[in-house]
Amino acid sequence: MKLRGKPEPLLIRGGRVIDPAQGIDAEMDVLLADGVVSQLGHGLEADGARVFEARGLWVVPGLIDMHVHLREPGEEWKEDIASGTRAAAAGGFTTVVAMANTRPPVDDASMVNSILARAAEKAVVHVLPVGAVTRGLEGKELAEMGDMAEAGAVAFSDDGHPIADAEVMRCALEYGCVFGKPIIDHCQEPSLTRDAVMHLGYWSTVLGLRGMPAAAEEIMVARDIMLARLTGGRVHIAHASTRGTVDLLRGARAEGLPVTAEVTPTHLCLTDRLVHDTWYDTNTKVNPPLRAAEDVEALRRALAEGVIEAIATDHAPHHLDDKDVEYNYAAFGISALETAVPLLLTELVHPGLIAPGTLIERLTAGPARILGLGAGSLPVGRQPAAGSAPVVAGCRRVGAGSLRVGGCADVTVIDPGLERTVDPERFYSKGRNTPLGGRKLRGWPVLTVVAGHVVMRDGEVLA
């Protein structure tokens, strides 16, 4: 990260500390010093530290987004590491996991090193790279997963594409086991989704658009679960979106298989009806598509029960040119980092559908567990060469989804009552592609602290 030097001590006073990993939900002070959480308790002395008054606000472990497209290298007009990580900071995220489908893709150790080096120079939050499963994301030959794991890849994925070949997936899972890393799959049977642009259902019929059946996702999820059973490898289902997927996950979990899943705020809060209601707004075009109300219902239940353990945004910024075309030709994706928290609070927490502690767990400890960031582990396989180290003075770890004393001082403060209207023109992301523009949302992040450095305050990115 570009944050250098020793951060000033900071006392975050009197907030509602929600740290599910430690079972904490109570009014407390949090003292950050030397880049780590130094004390947690009541009536802590400022002792020369700057003070942030957090009464009435939530103080939570730095949010972790395990599915982000930063577009660098190769598509910097859509996003780059500087703009994407500033968008993350604005959205309350202190760690982002960067997908490998850049141009060229991250499919060998030198590319992993290059992402870490660029991040060391320009990122304002922690960036953890994902390595491709197959060379060139072509779905044929396995990439050098061992080298990439050693260089610091935290997981493997061809995301953007499914791993269509079952034998390739089987081998990937076997290697993944060896390195202890999950294989993240974008589950979609390609033959069922050719030229399709939205969910196959009532609204695709009404609108006359080609639909993707839920079965296209579920066939692949079922296959991956079977391959997890066969190999013992760890499968992580990216952006789960259908009721059938939830049923399959529930079965896998009951069986004790090493299968985890994430869901996006988009799929938790919006339905395919929005394509109709916005009259073919291409900002509603996303892959997997916005699904039916019954799917959204099932996803919410799965999130609450822990069948789905993580919320990830699948932040997919695009240029206006990619979206300002007919629905059939528009690119898939939503710029989501800066609206995730307020959307989730507005749609799920304030109406009482998800408890605050559960929501925060799925944004912190959940993804940390899936990525193996806990237990003080260094996410980077080993210390990279000087100059390329994603290391901040006094803090060589990411926050790992908890405010444990001694852990990296990654903290997010959320004002649950703050109301603001989404204005894509004010995004830090270069991608303004959101269907939420003009929507009034309640519950925004107001402070983002990365390794003790304040990188966002009151919505303004300072780094």
Catalytic residues: 314
Q: Report the nearest approach of Zn ion to the CB of residue 414 (Å).
A: 27
C-beta nearest to Zn ion: residue: 186
- Minimum separation from the CB atom of position 235 to Zn ion (A): 14
- Please, which residue, 78 or 276, has the CB nearer to Zn ion? 78
* Residue whose CB is less far from Zn ion, 19 or 262: 262
3-state SS class at 137:
helix
Using CB under 5 A as the binding criterion, the count of chain residues that bind Zn ion stands at 3
Report the residue number, 238 or 455, with the smaller CB distance to Zn ion.
238
Name which of 159 and 218 has its Cβ closer to Zn ion: 159
Measured from the CB atom, the residue of 19 and 295 that comes closer to Zn ion is: 295
Q: Is 77 helix (H, G, I), strand (E, B) or coil?
A: coil
| 37, 24 contact by CB (below 8 A) | no
Closest approach of Zn ion to the CB of residue 125, in Å: 21
Binding residue for Zn ion, selected from 126, 161, 170, 186, defined by CB under 5 A: 186
Q: Are 134 and 158 in contact, with CB atoms under 8 Å apart?
A: yes
Among 190, 185, 85, 161, residue whose Cα is nearest residue 456: 85
The H or E element that residue 149 is part of is: helix 145-151
Least distance between Zn ion and beta carbon 130 (Å): 11
Query: What is the Cα–Cα distance from 40 to 53, expressed in whole angstroms?
Result: 15
**Least distance (Å) between residue 331 CB and Zn ion:** 13
Among 159, 281, 295, 322, binds Zn ion (CB under 5 A): 159
Interior/surface letters 383-409, b for 16+ CB within 10 angstroms, e for the rest: ebeeebebbbebbbbbbbbbbbeebbb
The CA–CA distances, whole Å, from 186 to 83, 97, 105, 327 equal 25, 15, 16, 22
- CB of 152 closer than 8 Å to CB of 112: yes
Examine residue 158 and tell whether it contacts Zn ion (CB under 5 A).
Answer: no
Spell out, one character per residue from 206 to 245, where the chain touches Zn ion: x when CB under 5 A holds, - when not: --------------------------------x-------
Is residue 267 within 8 A of residue 314, CB to CB? The reply is: no
| C-alpha angle 402-3-68 in degrees, rounded to nearest 5 | 60
Minimum CB distance to Zn ion, residue 374 (Å): 25
3-state secondary structure of 355: coil
Does a cis peptide bond (omega within 30 degrees of 0) precede residue 213?
no
| Residue 313 vs 339, nearer CB to Zn ion | 313
In this chain, which stretch among 111-119, 153-161, 392-400, 433-441 interacts with Zn ion, using CB under 5 A? 153-161
Q: Which range of residues in 138-146, 154-162, 371-379, 413-421 is near Zn ion by CB under 5 A? A: 154-162
Structure tokens at 445: 């992040």
Beta carbons of 408 and 399 less than 8 angstroms apart: yes
Contact region with Zn ion (CB under 5 A), list: 87-95, 115-123, 152-160, 260-268 = 152-160
Q: Which of residues 24-53 bind Zn ion (CB under 5 A)?
A: none
- Residues near Zn ion (CB under 5 A): 159, 186, 238
